Structure 1
């Protein structure tokens, strides 16, 4: 009888007993299992009936499923099918309980990560509860991250990436509506399936971006998922994918409401709606969130590594241009600028030639065009040294006609010349000689921004092609270079290929010195030690279990001694003497270290340190400007990575186009902040007469006492009696003095 009461009313106690001794309580578990199966059939017909008892049984079986794996083999699939088939009619508490128990089964290794993620992915677009949606999202991200902590779980990654790619692919057959018709977007999609596909694609892009940001995924397949989202028919998915490559984190469904807080709209609603205390509290919270988001917002930086991992960037760029050109009437200006920015960065990074883009962008090159600095940035970034000059020359001519003439303001002229300079820096042959002479004359302007822009253009052509300048404008160094016969490379020609690594002879001398001091040769063991601590990327498709290094015996060295060097058979002393003779005969020394040794990352780090020391020594001995510039360049390269330097060269900002500007007038918030900053450390403002603001308070003044004196006592005073005897002239003078004093205090 006691066990019967236990079975029916105390499932937690039975759960505890089963975990201690599963064999002894197998019959009790089977009774609860049969009870669960009967309630499950009823629950499938009517989910509202016995929902609480059903949740208790599901939680109980999830806890003890590892004790009876054979009996509960179908239990996870039953929960997953119930969630997928009846998710819309389940109560919120039941949904949450089923999802949590499914995660519990994964934590107990009853189901695999792939099975869990297959069940959770379809729930994201269908969940209306923000709490449950956030829980599902965190579960998915943490499960994938934990699986890839020690090493890349290629099997799981491939399966999840295939699911995410399918979520994006399912909605690609829809029609592009565009985002100009904001009112039409309120009506929603035409059917439920279309809306589900839209949300699926959006969540696929968001999760992929999050896994990339957390550095869990950083391969080509990850970039391919987001690249596919750039061509999704729904502009919301497009925008999220475009922001991934542009380096910003917008269009996240979880933070969309917080990011899009319109402060002016909130104040307007508060003025016209009914005044309540709850509305005031809600407004205060929303304004606090908006202020925090605005304060924590960081400037976006281009996702250079993702752009470099694009598969077939030429096709990707052409598809972006086709989408931009085809749906020009449907997309809003902001969305079109997003596409322009990504297309220009892809063209600049991969040196693509999408010539139709220059014809398309010409219609936006007008100084009254909204967001024209962003358009000019996109134009400049799309040009590179392989862009045909014939395609860029009309664009430069259009810029000069619209932005650089006496009929516009100085800021417009400066922006136009800066844009022309950035385009010409990437393709100098697109400039016309007569136009260049006219633009350089603006260096005599009285405006600082215009003068700076024109001088920058003049300095650029003194370096890249001084032949296009007049003799008096070339400068000393450019004139000397022309006299020596140096000429810029024509379009399509490149400099000579590198024949040596700069400073490699310093590393060779350093290693030779170490050999002489230690008396040992640096062999393969030292090379292996120098590779330790440096990350080496492995091929994702390789299988470490199946591919191993082949062991080669020492006896087989003669068979593998293959070399095409002519000096292989010579004595080491003969080779050293021959190298010395070659060094004497030729001034520039070419090091052979790279042909005899595989350079490790530690070698390159040591090489950079040796170059720094040599540059410091040159500065101390010679003190020339050339040595100082070389040292400064090495110090800058040490602080920044090669990728960051390449990003800085390829990508520009709106400040590069606008140039130096006068300080804008501060708004109210900035003025108040400046006032408060000036009051820091100062005593409280106010009069110190009487008891006010004194460390040692004193008695009140006669004026304060008179202000608080009763009216009946004041009626007999001389001041009041004297007012009755004033003439009209005296009253007018007193009134005029009062008005003048009020005006002064007001100003």
Structure 2
């Protein structure tokens, strides 16, 4: 009896004993289990009674549940029922304790991850505690990441993704409210409350999906489909978070655990400082808080938008997605603010450009925004250019190009506006050259004679573009030497709309690689035939006996169209040095057979690029002219892009491509702070260093030293000189006596 009383009042000791010998203390555990059931029934009726005792019993049973699995089989479901059905009546401490014990049961494998997540997902939008919400969020992400650490846990992923789909779909039938006008003040009533509740569930589903994508846990099309569904959610916050995911411009406030808690009220800090006691530590704390608030406001601004290209490629049915996104943009045009509409335009244009889609009504919609005084016009021009591709009908783009020319390019606007207009037209025509009219092109390239550098650069870029893609639209004197020669030879003929270039017949520079490998074999003393045969060892090809016999005889001679055999010879190059130099500069003129006998590795392609660079450099040194210099510059640019790891995301343009080179843009906060720090390097904190360099003790110069360098007219007008002339005899005697006494002391 004494042992029972002692163990009943000391649950940690009983917990330790049960873990050592569960069978010996089963009776004591059953006593505590019955006590728990009794208190649970009372707690459901009155949550304020026996709260502390109830939390202690829940923690005790969670610790020893693995020792008595049959008796505690219903315990996890009871905890989940309390959290889901009576969450509002529970105290904050009880909520936190129940969640922690439920996570403990998952760590002990008493419940599965799906059972845990079914309880935690609904709690995220309901909890008001930032610490508890952060704990739940971290638990969800860690559990899913751990389950997929070694191999993908498809069963768990399917279950979790189904729950996330349900959280997003829950509020899809609501009305799109928008973020502009009177609708923000009229968001009341049962419909808006239902949409708001569904929006809270959806925003957390989007946040968790984005976080799992960012951590690399989910990389397939399922999470992309969840966020793509969020792009059409009636709650604007869910839409914005989904759009930012595809645009790659997630802001810190969207993924924060508590958006309201991150904001710092500067006026409240100053007011509190005036009321509280004035201390030195209080001043230091205030300065630290103000610095943190300023850094959070200005230091975390996104510097650039990097589009989430893998997510764009994994979109299911991108044509339908683009059409639904345009319908949403067009239907609620008056309800959305300009910032939100620009986000939707950017995503729509990137989907159209990445998948080469045609949503022709988009160009009619964007037509009204193409004015130079329109807010966010650089972003709108970027969206316009990114939506164009080689399959976009020129008839839909010609009015847009004409509108840009009429609104942006005329003497009544600033030079920056003209440069932006020409650059926007160039980006559109670079993707679809047939959108330009010949008369308009002739007028635009005349701006290359402008006195403004940005306008001149933009016009020259447009001229060079059409020299490359369609020089026939230019006047004869504007085509340039290379384009004129190409047109005469028939090699600069533009492809009609809808046609693609012919298939490649060779790899650029492959002949150089073939010659290099042949030279290496000759130096090593290995015959080409033996090396080629060893390269194809252990390759089993299913073929008939007749085919194998024909293959063993060697290569089959291929007849050309004229009936004669194809001969590859360098005899003509030896006779004509200039022709040999030309073939070294552009080795694609000679068809190489290396790709048919050897599998090229990444190292081979790197060597091939180096050989092309060497050949182009030799051509420039030998006086190859401007063509050789441009080829060398292009090859160097390709190598730089390859080293920096650029990928297909670079196909998207930025606002800098539209604005072009400017005189000097206004520095942002980070640039100003960097300039200030650079100016402080190698300098004392305060004052100048004048008079401190060549002295034993650092000090500034005296007034007497400064007076030596003053002009004589300033000295004559000084009070000291004028005072000497007005001294009386007595004052002169006193001054002389003081000087004599000072001289005696100095000796």
- Where on the TM-score scale, by shorter chain, does this alignment land: which range? 0.7 to 0.9
Q: Partners of 2:76 and 2:555 in 1: how far apart? A: 73
Q: Alignment partner for residue 646 of structure 1, among 648, 656, 661?
A: 648
The 1:255/1:46 distance shift into structure 2, 3 A limit, reads closer
TM-superposed CA distance for 1:268, in Å, is: 6.1
Q: Aligned residue for 1:121?
A: 121
Q: Alignment partner for residue 394 of structure 2, among 389, 393, 403?
A: 389
CA deviation vs aligned residue, 1:74-113 (integer Å, no higher than 9, x gap)? 1111101110000111100110111111111111111111
Instruction: Between 120-129 and 284-293, report the one with greater CA deviation.
Output: 284-293
Q: Partners of 1:606 and 1:499 in 2: how far apart? A: 22
CA deviation vs aligned residue, 1:108-151 (integer Å, no higher than 9, x gap)? 11111111111100000001000000000011111111111111
Q: Partners of 1:409 and 1:612 in 2: how far apart? A: 44
Q: Partners of 1:368 and 1:663 in 2: how far apart? A: 21
Q: Aligned residue for 2:548?
A: 568
Q: Partners of 2:689 and 2:361 in 1: how far apart? A: 75
Does structure 1 residue 696 correspond to structure 2 residue 684? no
TM-superposed CA distance for 1:9, in Å, is: 1.5
Cα contact 1:231–1:238 (8 A) shared by 2: yes
Q: Partners of 2:206 and 2:679 in 1: how far apart? A: 48
The 1:75/1:198 distance shift into structure 2, 3 A limit, reads same
Does structure 1 residue 368 correspond to structure 2 residue 367? no
TM-superposed CA distance for 1:260, in Å, is: 8.0
Q: Alignment partner for residue 494 of structure 2, among 488, 492, 495?
A: 488
Does structure 1 residue 10 correspond to structure 2 residue 10? yes
Does structure 1 residue 584 correspond to structure 2 residue 589? no
The 1:569/1:294 distance shift into structure 2, 3 A limit, reads farther
Q: Aligned residue for 1:609?
A: 606
Aligned-partner SS, 2:78: helix
Aligned-partner SS, 1:574: coil
CA deviation vs aligned residue, 1:162-218 (integer Å, no higher than 9, x gap)? 110110001000000001148836966746543321100000001101111111111
The 1:592/1:276 distance shift into structure 2, 3 A limit, reads same
Q: Aligned residue for 1:398?
A: 403
Does structure 1 residue 348 correspond to structure 2 residue 332? no
- Give the length in aligned residue pairs: 667
Cα contact 1:261–1:290 (8 A) shared by 2: no
Q: Partners of 2:8 and 2:487 in 1: how far apart? A: 100
CA deviation vs aligned residue, 1:506-554 (integer Å, no higher than 9, x gap)? 5897899799469856656xx9xxxxxxxxxxxxxxxxxxxxxxxxxxx
Cα contact 1:259–1:293 (8 A) shared by 2: no
Q: Aligned residue for 2:679?
A: 678
Q: Partners of 1:605 and 1:677 in 2: how far apart? A: 43
Q: Partners of 1:357 and 1:272 in 2: how far apart? A: 51
Q: Aligned residue for 1:530?
A: none
Aligned-partner SS, 1:150: coil
Cα contact 1:177–1:330 (8 A) shared by 2: yes
In structure 2, list runs of 5 or more residues that go unmatched: 570-588, 706-718, 728-747
Q: Aligned residue for 1:547?
A: none
Mapping of 1:162-561 within 5 angstroms?
162-181=162-181, 184=184, 190=190, 192-250=193-251, 252=254, 254=256, 257=259, 275-277=274-276, 284-285=288-289, 287-292=291-296, 294-298=298-302, 299-486=304-491, 487-499=493-505, 516=530, 523=537, 561=542
CA deviation vs aligned residue, 1:306-350 (integer Å, no higher than 9, x gap)? 001100000000011100100000000000000000000000110
Q: Partners of 2:269 and 2:82 in 1: how far apart? A: 45
CA deviation vs aligned residue, 1:665-688 (integer Å, no higher than 9, x gap)? 668997786465334323465489
Aligned-partner SS, 1:570: helix
CA deviation vs aligned residue, 1:26-76 (integer Å, no higher than 9, x gap)? 111111111111111111111111111111111111111111111111111
Aligned-partner SS, 2:254: coil
Q: Partners of 2:113 and 2:673 in 1: how far apart? A: 55
Aligned-partner SS, 1:656: helix
Cα contact 2:231–2:239 (8 A) shared by 1: yes
Q: Partners of 1:222 and 1:174 in 2: how far apart? A: 23
TM-superposed CA distance for 1:269, in Å, is: 6.5
Q: Partners of 1:107 and 1:660 in 2: how far apart? A: 58
Q: Partners of 1:45 and 1:454 in 2: how far apart? A: 79
CA deviation vs aligned residue, 1:381-414 (integer Å, no higher than 9, x gap)? 1111100000000001111111100111111111
Q: Partners of 1:226 and 1:698 in 2: how far apart? A: 67
The 1:306/1:39 distance shift into structure 2, 3 A limit, reads same
TM-superposed CA distance for 1:604, in Å, is: 3.6
- If the length of structure 2 is used for normalisation, what is the TM-score? 0.81
- If the length of structure 1 is used for normalisation, what is the TM-score? 0.81
Q: Partners of 1:665 and 1:257 in 2: how far apart? A: 30
TM-superposed CA distance for 1:605, in Å, is: 1.4
Aligned-partner SS, 2:4: helix
Q: Partners of 2:306 and 2:673 in 1: how far apart? A: 31
CA deviation vs aligned residue, 1:272-294 (integer Å, no higher than 9, x gap)? 89933499856852541441463
TM-superposed CA distance for 1:357, in Å, is: 0.4
Does structure 1 residue 73 correspond to structure 2 residue 79? no
In structure 1, list runs of 5 or more residues that go unmatched: 528-556, 705-717, 727-747
The 1:513/1:615 distance shift into structure 2, 3 A limit, reads farther
TM-superposed CA distance for 1:431, in Å, is: 0.5
The 1:592/1:468 distance shift into structure 2, 3 A limit, reads same
Cα contact 2:349–2:383 (8 A) shared by 1: yes
Q: Partners of 2:692 and 2:594 in 1: how far apart? A: 88
TM-superposed CA distance for 1:499, in Å, is: 4.6
